[in-house]
Amino acid sequence: MDEQKKIAVIGGGSWATALVKILCNNVSSVNWYMRNEESVAHILKFRHNPKYLQSVEFDLNKINVSTNLVEVIERSELVIIATPSAFLVKLFEDFPEGLMEGKSLYSAVKGIIPEYNAIPARFIHKTFGIPYDSIGIICGPCHAEEVALERLSYLTIACQDEERSEEMADLLSCRYIKTTVSDDLFGTEISAVMKNIYSIASGICSGLGYGDNFQSVLISNAIQEIENLIDEMSPIHRDVKSSAYLGDLLVTAYSKFSRNRTFGFMVGKGYSVKSAQLEMDMIAEGYYAVKSVMEIKNKFQVEMPIVEAVHNILYEKISPVIEMRILTDKLS
C-alpha cells in the first residue's frame, strides 16, 4: 500500500464523505473537492460534514478540503468522482482541457448522465479522452451510512486493467471494508444504475402495502431484467448472482438507508413526484435513470416490465395502484 499516493475525491455528499473516511485509514492525505464554501469552512472548523454523515470526524492533518476543483485535481494522481450524475455535466462544463491526462479516474457516481443517456465511464471517456483501461468504478453492496458506523461492508472495484483495480482495492481495504475486483467495467456500472430503478419500484410497492412475498418476486424478476439488458449491451461472461450485481440490488431495494426506496415509498403513499423530491431534499438517482434506461432498453429491444412500470408512474403520471396491479400479472 502506498501511503503517499495522491488521491482526489470529488463531491460533498454522503458517499464522498464515506470515501474520504475510508481512504484516511490508508493514505497520508486526501485532496477533497466540495462545491459548497460553507461546508468547507464548517469542516475546517468543526471536523465533520455539516450536511452528510455528521458523526464522521476527520483528522484535518489528513485532508486538504477545497472549493477549487482544478487545484484539487492538479495535486492528484488518482481521482474518484462521487458527485450525483445529474450534476456532472455542469461540474465539468468549463474544465481545462488536458488536466485529466495521465490520471486514473474512478467513478463512484451510481447513476446515469441524463443529458447523454451515458454511464459515467462513457462520460469520463468522452469528456476527458481517458482510455477505458484507466477508468474504474467503485460499487457496492454498500451504504455510506453503515460506513460511517464502521459496520462491515463490501466494495467492488471494476476496471479493465486488473493492476489498477487491485491498486484501488488495496487503498480502500480496512478493518470494516472488504474489497473484491472485477474486469466487468460496463456490466457493474449499468447494474449500479439500474438497481436504483428497482429500489424505487420496491419502495412504491411497500408504500402501497405489498408484503415481503411480493417483494421477493419483484426483486427476483429485477435481477433477470438487469442480466438481460447488460448481456445485450456488453456480452461477456458474468455471474449476476455475485455481490456486485445481486448484492448491490438487494441492499438498495431493502435498506432503510436507501434514498431511492424512500422516494418510491413516498410516491406509493400518494406523494407527487415533485413533493417527494422536495420532502427528501436529496437526489434519488433512479428518477433520472429510468427515463434513460427506457430509451436504452427500447434500442436493444429488451423486455423490462418493472422499468416500464416505474417510468409510467414517475413520468406518465399513471396511478401507482393501477400500474402495480398491471405489473403483478407480468411477473412470475
String of DSSP letters for 118-147: B-HHHHHHHHH---GGGEEEEE-S--HHHH
For the cut 80, the answer to whether the pLDDT of residue 281 exceeds it is no
Residue 138: all three cell numbers together: 467503485
| Average pLDDT of span 144-151 | 95
Q: Which residue has the higher pLDDT, 110 or 67?
A: 67
Q: In this predicted structure, what is the pLDDT of residue 2? A: 61
Rounded Cα distance between 85 and 192, Å, is 12
Reference 84, options 120, 133, 126, 40; nearest CA is 120
Residue 243: all three cell numbers together: 455481490
| Average pLDDT of span 244-271 | 94
Count the alpha carbons within 13 Å of 2 in the hemisphere toward its beta carbon.
Answer: 9
Rounded Cα distance between 79 and 28, Å, is 16
Residue 175: all three cell numbers together: 478493518
Q: pLDDT by residue (tens digit) across 294-327?
A: 999 999 999 999 999 999 999 999 999 999 999 9
Q: Radius of gyration over alpha carbons of the chain, in Å?
A: 19
* Total length of the chain: 332
Alpha helices in the chain (DSSP H): 14-23, 37-46, 69-74, 88-91, 120-128, 144-148, 162-172, 185-208, 212-233, 248-254, 259-268, 273-280, 285-300, 305-315, 320-328
Rounded Cα distance between 190 and 202, Å, is 19
Domain boundaries, the chain: 7-183, 188-328
Question: 63 vs 19, 46, 152, 238, CA distance in Å?
Answer: 12, 13, 24, 37
Q: pLDDT by residue (tens digit) across 7-64?
A: 999 999 999 999 999 999 999 999 999 999 999 999 999 999 999 999 999 999 999 9
Q: In this predicted structure, what is the pLDDT of residue 162? A: 93
Q: In this predicted structure, what is the pLDDT of residue 147? A: 95
Q: Could you tell me which CATH number the domain at 188-328 has?
A: 1.10.1040.10
Q: In this predicted structure, what is the pLDDT of residue 1? A: 58
Per DSSP, what are the bridge partners of residue 158?
137, 182
**The domains spanning 7-183 and 188-328 adopt the same CATH topology:** no
Q: Which amino acid is at 249?
A: L
Q: Which residue has the higher pLDDT, 194 or 256?
A: 194
Residue 81's H or E segment, with its range, is: strand 78-81
Helix (H, G, I), strand (E, B) or coil at 243: helix
Rounded Cα distance between 95 and 10, Å, is 13
| Average pLDDT of span 326-331 | 96
For the cut 70, the answer to whether the pLDDT of residue 230 exceeds it is yes
Per DSSP, what are the bridge partners of residue 153?
177
Rounded Cα distance between 136 and 189, Å, is 9
Rounded Cα distance between 50 and 128, Å, is 32
Percent with pLDDT over 90 in the chain: 88
Residue 290: all three cell numbers together: 429510468
Range name among 89-93, 98-102, 112-116 with the lowest pLDDT average: 112-116
Q: In this predicted structure, what is the pLDDT of residue 282? A: 75
Residue 35 burial (C-beta neighbours within 10 Å; 0-12, 13-18, 19+) = middle
pTM of the model: 0.92
What is the CA angle 86-88-93, rounded to 5? 125
Reference 54, options 149, 155, 134, 127; nearest CA is 149
Q: pLDDT by residue (tens digit) across 108-124?
A: 997 889 888 889 999 99
Question: 207 vs 126, 137, 245, CA distance in Å?
Answer: 40, 32, 25
Q: pLDDT by residue (tens digit) across 158-214?
A: 999 999 999 999 999 999 999 999 999 999 999 999 999 999 999 999 999 999 999
Average pLDDT, the chain: 94
Q: Could you tell me which CATH number the domain at 7-183 has?
A: 3.40.50.720
